[in-house]
Amino acid sequence: MILTVTLNTALDLTYRVPALTPHATHRVTQVIERPGGKGLNVARVLAALGHETVATGFAGGATGAMLRDLLAATPVRDELVATAGPTRRTVAVVDTTTGDTTQLNEPGPAITPAEWAGFRTRFTELLDGARAVALCGSLPPGIHVGAYAELIRLARAAAVPVLLDTSGEPLRRGIAARPDLVKPNADELAQLTGSREPHRATRDARRRGAHAVISSLGPEGLLAATPEGLWRAAPPAPVKGNPTGAGDSAVAGLLSGLVDEAPWPERLTRAVALSAATVLSPVAGEYDPSAYEELLPRVKVTSDSEAA
């Protein structure tokens, strides 16, 4: 199975309104509730691709119970660890006239040292049987900034390939613990390396300890620096739509290719096609399966000497 970790889970609410006007009253025309947090998004896509998928992380309170009810309706196995504090909500307010989204994110509960210790134990148990593990998203309050580095060391000790998708100091500390894969976007990469030039920044990120760095170039695809070579992967044409969850779908594509022992160009193809099929989907954060199948043979992967 593939294990995904979401330390800062969320009950994601999507509200559709004709247009958001500050200081006015809005009647919400549609409400969508989903189990949220980057690792849960990755898990849903992996399960939809047919992979046995297990999700861990934290959930608590009435909102945590709602999240777990929603997760139970998916093929993802729920191995979330209970917290005393209630799971946060996020509210995405989508203007139906333009498709623009306004995001409101609750802070989430502080994790206690005992809860973190309990999680580490559960994580170690779950590694036994995992073919890959993804560590995704921000750290909740109360968890030390080196938490991902700690989980990466546990995964490496268990010989389970580990992907890290986070930002800021947790990414910096995590990379130093030598994960197999990191997947930064342009902003995360610039924050880490100080460079906005993708080739230079990707090379720099690899030097910091990651075995492979897959940098997102947004609508232009991915740039990959791996032990086996350097590639660019791009969709046949730039896609327009809602980019929510596109990065999480790319992570799912990389993990899917990894556990299938596919060569790098095939892994990148899956990642780019899933990412584009997510942008094209009418439902934010979901991918369009027929668009995915249609895109797969059309993704362009080229060897990229410039990234060397």
Which residues contact its own copies by CB under 8 A? 13, 15, 17, 20-29, 31, 62, 65-66, 69, 89, 91, 93, 95, 100-107
Nearer to its own copies, 89 or 267 (CB): 89
Phi-psi region of 202 (alpha: psi -120 to 50; beta: other; left: phi over 0): alpha
Nearer to its own copies, 34 or 232 (CB): 34
Give min distance, CB of 67 to its own copies, in A: 10
Residue whose pair of structure tokens reads 């009810």 in the numeric block: 69
- In 129-266, at which residue ranges do the beta strands (DSSP E only) sit? 132-136, 162-165, 181-182, 212-216, 222-226, 229-234
Of the residues 12, 165, 248, 288, only one is catalytic, namely 248
Strand partners for 214: 224
Nearer to its own copies, 207 or 240 (CB): 240
Sequence-separated (6 or more) residues with CB below 8 Å from residue 246:
275, 276, 278, 279
Give min distance, CB of 121 to its own copies, in A: 29
Q: How many CB atoms lie within 10 A of CB 135?
A: 28
Q: How far apart are CA 6 and CA 215, in angstroms?
A: 21
Phi-psi region of 255 (alpha: psi -120 to 50; beta: other; left: phi over 0): alpha
Nearer to its own copies, 24 or 159 (CB): 24
Could you tell me if 221 and 198 are in contact, meaning their C-beta atoms sit under 8 angstroms apart? no
Query: Rounded to the nearest 10 degrees, what angle do helices 186-193 and 168-176 cross at?
Result: 70
248 catalytic per annotation = yes
Alpha carbon 239 to its chain centroid, in Å, reads: 20
How many C-alpha atoms does 138 have within 13 Å on its Cβ side? 14
Q: Which residues are catalytic?
A: 248
